[in-house]
Structure 1
Amino acid sequence: MLENLRATVKERVTEKRYIHTLGVEEKAVELSKKYGVDETKVRVAAILHDIAKSMDINRMEQICKANFSDELSEEDMRISEILHGFVGYLIAKDELNITDEEILSAIKYHTIGKKGLSLVGRIIYIADGIEKNRVYPGVDEIRRVTDTNLDQGIIFEIERKITYLQSTGGKIHRNTLEMKEWLEDSLNGGKI
């Protein structure tokens, strides 16, 4: 099954994106072992997380307007970085018959996160940002923090993302901010 999923993804994305996908799978499996999460779920979500990444933005926008207008704003609809997770969710569910909601949710929210995201989802979220092929200022520190505490690593990554987006005039997605606040609350004694 995993080999078939990898082959399907390889047909749909660029070579560079496929190499990234394998890197996410590798990091996600490493984190799943460290944090006691089902390895197969993590592998499936990691392999499929970017399946829609190479799709035309106009096609993704059409799909998302038809299926996720209750969850995505007009501004969101113009950002391929957001849309490809939602479209990937539909591909996994409708074309590849993935029924596990943890896997589907991990694919859907792997770039923007979500308050209440499961461990599988949080692993895919952070593995996407810190897999071995990622090179950007601070990535080694984020990897180090994540290896010590998954949720602290995610918070640290979000803080770096906020700083970067502020420097470029970009905007952080509300889901990402809500996830950060939720994780901070849980680290301060709240419940996940």
Structure 2
Amino acid sequence: MFVAHPNVQQLLSAIWYEGVPGFRRKKILWQIVHIVKLFIMFPIYCLVYIIAPSSRMGRFMKKPFVKFICHSASYILFLTFVSMASQRLEIVILELIGTDWLKEKVNEWKKKERGAFFGFAESIVILFVSSLVWAEIKSLWTIGLKKYISDLWNIIDFIVNVLYILWFALRMSSWYIVRVSWGTI
């Protein structure tokens, strides 16, 4: 009954939307514009938060609604790069807009695709995965092993991170095996 009381709900809403005053009173179009602006600005907000967490913009990042939007934007960007990496978007773009010489190079790369090193999108995915693993390590260190294991979401995050690390290990072993077979290592 306490949580369902209108005054408590009003207080929770005020805390949730603390960083964006008047957000709920805006028309839906202006709410969308504000959310898109936060989506676009999230890399800058994150950089400022890493460099100066106690600055005005760093404190803005600590607001629940802003933090939610930035986490969502980060995850959407991560999924975008995962899909770009799975489709080898760099090669597709070079095939579409490249010169004849570049298209010949792309055909040569395709023949050696199994042993290819990480492309741009895969490098960004590796950076994201590294940050996810680091966040889990920090969480484990902060709350301790017993409490960490008691939350099933942490177990799921751990398994997902292990699968990403296995993908990385398989890609590196593929690269190494192909290089050895070519005699370049």
Bigger Rg, structure 1 or 2? 2
Please tell me the TM-score bracket, short chain as reference: under 0.3
TM-score, L = length of structure 2: 0.26
Give the TM-score, by structure 1 length. Answer: 0.25
Bigger share in helix:
2
